[in-house]
């Protein structure tokens, strides 16, 4: 049985897994999902991942959830180049440091703005107060500042001179608020230069392919089926509002 990747490329963690697998020529069957339409709650997917989140993989009789352990598993199984998850103790620690930090910082802050600026008002029809928007933007700016000043600094990449899992996870998180029209690179030349290096490292064609959907969100929001998202409205508002 071929390796199966259950992914929705609107999701930052899913994009990181997708780019990593494609960058390393890992053969897989792409099981495309729509989280906005609630496909993670279907009975069949529950057999793959009881957590009911994407990404998830099925490798024969082995199922695994969460993007970070998935990429570590793929790196080990397919013996990907060492720079992705370095064997050097200190470089690996730098990668792990970012991967541990981002869960409660850059990733949720970027996601929150995406919902507040785009999906909640345009799909759910709920007005978002300026105070809510300003607070979310402050949180994102704080995380972007730390990404630049602590994690990137004067290095080409987070763990040194080669791209790693940390950069891959970071770049998809940085690109999420861009999808709702926020230019996070304005006034941040260090961040923009790092983005360009990561893009070259993974390949511009793949980078653009993975982000095509999320970057077209403002154009496509009018074609989304709002009825399928309405059933999750109370949960979404509780999470982001």
Tell me how far apart the alpha carbons of residues 195 and 2 are, in angstroms, rounded to a whole number.
32
Q: What is the pLDDT of residue 125?
A: 87
Q: What is the pLDDT of residue 200?
A: 98
Q: What is the pLDDT of residue 151?
A: 98
Over its C-alpha atoms, the chain yields an Rg (Å, rounded) of: 18
Rounded average pLDDT per 10-residue block, the chain, 241 residues: 93 98 98 90 93 96 97 98 97 98 96 94 91 97 98 97 98 97 97 98 98 92 73 81 74
Q: What is the pLDDT of residue 77?
A: 97
What is the bridge-based pairing of β-strands 29-32 and 4-7? parallel
Q: What is the pLDDT of residue 221?
A: 77
Q: What is the pLDDT of residue 162?
A: 97
Residues 118 and 214 sit within 8 Å (Cβ to Cβ): no
Domains of the chain with bracketed CATH: 4-80 (3.40.30.10), 89-240 (1.20.1050.10)
Q: How far is CA 49 from CA 5, 53, 164, in A?
A: 12, 7, 26
Tell me how far apart the alpha carbons of residues 20 and 11 are, in angstroms, rounded to a whole number.
14
Q: What is the pLDDT of residue 237?
A: 83
């Amino acid at each position: 049985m071929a390796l199966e990747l259950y992914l929705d490329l609107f999701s930052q963690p899913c994009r990181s897994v997708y780019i990593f697998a494609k960058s390393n020529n890992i053969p897989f069957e792409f099981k495309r999902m729509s989280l906005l339409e609630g496909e993670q709650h279907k009975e069949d997917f529950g057999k793959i991942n009881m957590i009911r989140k994407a990404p998830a993989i099925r490798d024969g009789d082995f199922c695994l959830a969460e993007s970070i352990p998935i990429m570590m598993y793929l790196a080990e199984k397919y013996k990907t180049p060492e720079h992705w998850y370095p064997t050097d103790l200190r470089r690996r620690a730098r990668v792990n440091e970012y991967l541990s930090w981002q869960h409660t910082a850059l990733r949720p802050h970027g996601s929150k703005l995406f919902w507040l600026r785009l999906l909640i008002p345009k799909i759910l029809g709920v007005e978002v107060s300026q105070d809510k928007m300003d607070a979310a933007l402050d949180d994102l700016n704080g995380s972007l500042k730390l990404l630049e000043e602590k994690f990137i600094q004067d290095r080409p990449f987070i763990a040194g001179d080669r791209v790693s899992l940390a950069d891959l996870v970071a770049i998809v998180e940085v690109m999420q608020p861009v999808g709702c029209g926020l230019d996070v690179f304005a006034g941040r030349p260090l961040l923009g230069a790092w983005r360009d290096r990561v893009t070259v490292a993974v390949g511009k064609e793949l980078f653009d392919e993975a982000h095509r959907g999320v970057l077209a969100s403002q154009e496509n929001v009018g074609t989304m089926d709002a009825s399928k998202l309405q059933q999750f409205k109370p949960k979404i508002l509780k999470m982001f509002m």
